[in-house]
Structure 1
């Protein structure tokens, strides 16, 4: 008898209970653009993340030094979002050291949180293949929201100079272009749905992953 591995589709993933593991980070600095390096370091210790559907890894926050690095603080955390049943797969990262280029960090025992809804969500960067201009990107992002059945107002926020927040992420030897994205006017159900599914690609490298914004 031949066994066929079943990969859950988007609707099946949305029906699963999701959690977010938040690991405290012990270290000094990281590259400002560390999404790919962080994913690679985690996958080295936990190869299953390559195949796990519905897993997202958020990049680690820190204080920019304006020289291509961030300085880590006591508020710096590694956050991994995944179905509850898959939690043991990454929990064992506690206490492990991750090497990211010439930098190294050690992970503390994680706290575990359920996803919480918010009417306004933001993603630091969303990448959508073949959509590298603001208008085209925004149209594609709105199309993906509609395909998910999510009702909300999507905008690309502006930077300090009034320009759309265009960003890049480096993967090996090439760069991928994306934009910051905010979605407001969400119901509780749609907010959780968007946090689970995300938008665009490269969710394991910190792209397309949404978090609640402070309410106005």
Structure 2
């Protein structure tokens, strides 16, 4: 490993030790608190729909992510060209959420190059941070098996919120055409349908819980992960 990466890794490990030491008290549900690792990304472009490809590339370098329950991989934001690709910018980061005691599982990604389809990206040493409570959260794509129509989908999402004992106002936002934001993700040879979701009026505890657990499936492919509004609206990651 290059000298500058070794030095940065030492600083990262110190930061990890501080964050995890602050978070060793388990939540009321018996879970260790989650953290978010943010890897700066350098590259030219990515497919707009890159959730599955990103997960596959990460799993190739870190096979343990296959078995790690509760790990979430956010898709990388960028500027859309409206032709199926996004251009990467200085603000493009790969973000991974996982239990605070599992950070070492994905640390091998630091300094690595990933191939996503025909596109190559370079990852840098990540920053690690605690999840912060935000009363308004948004997910760019939530998928719930068997629910592809907006009314039934919203009811299914509400049932999941109720099961998690999370209270908040749930809605499907409108897209730029003034229609309910319906999206798809391609996984191998098939497509999965879902919708964007917004939740407001969250308490601090419910906000952290939702950011930790998410809704629906395929969270290793960027689905069902909730972020603050400023993050989700800064870029359009399709």
- Normalised-by-shorter TM-score class: over 0.9
1:83 to 99, 103, 106: 99
Q: For 1:64-213, what aligned pairs fall within 5 Å after superposition?
A: 64-213=80-229
Q: Take 2:139 and 2:74, find their aligned partners in 1: how far apart are those partners?
A: 10
Q: Matches of 1:34 and 1:155 in 2, distance apart?
A: 25
Tell me which residue corresponds to 2:76: 60
Secondary structure of 2:76's counterpart equals coil
Which residue of structure 1 aligns with residue 63 of structure 2?
Answer: 47
Provide the secondary structure at the position in 2 that maps to 1:180: strand
Shift of 1:12: 8.2
Shift of 1:53: 0.7
Does the 8 Å CA contact 2:147/2:153 hold for their aligned counterparts? yes
CA 89–12 in structure 1, closer or farther in 2 if over 3 Å, else same: farther
CA shift digits 1:92-134 (9 cap, x unpaired): 2111110000001010000001000100000000000000000
Secondary structure of the residue aligned to 2:103 is helix
User: Residues 61 and 108 of structure 2 are in contact (CA less than 8 Å); yes or no, is this contact kept in structure 1?
Assistant: no
- Any unmatched runs of 5+ in structure 2? 1-26, 231-238
Is 1:23–2:62 an aligned residue pair?
A: no
Kept in 1: contact 2:36–2:98 (CA 8 A): yes
Tell me if structure 2 keeps the 8 A contact 1:27–1:106. Answer: yes
TM-score by structure 2 length?
A: 0.84
TM-score under structure 1 length normalisation? 0.92
Aligned-partner Cα distance in 1 for 2:183–2:128: 30
Equivalent pairs, count: 204
Q: What is the rounded CA distance, in whole Å, between the counterparts of 1:48 and 1:40 in structure 2?
A: 12
CA distance in 2, matches of 1:96, 1:13: 35
In 2, Cα distance between equivalents of 1:208 and 1:86: 21
Query: Runs of 5+ in structure 1 lacking a partner?
Result: 1-10
Q: 1:64 to 1:19 in 2, by over 3 A?
A: same
> Runs ≥4 in structure 1, deviation > 2 angstroms?
11-15
CA apart distance, 1:159: 1.1
Q: Is the 8 A contact 1:96 1:107 kept in 2?
A: yes
Deviates more, 1:87-96 or 1:122-131: 87-96
Cα pair 1:117 1:212 within 8 Å, conserved: no
Shift of 1:21: 0.2
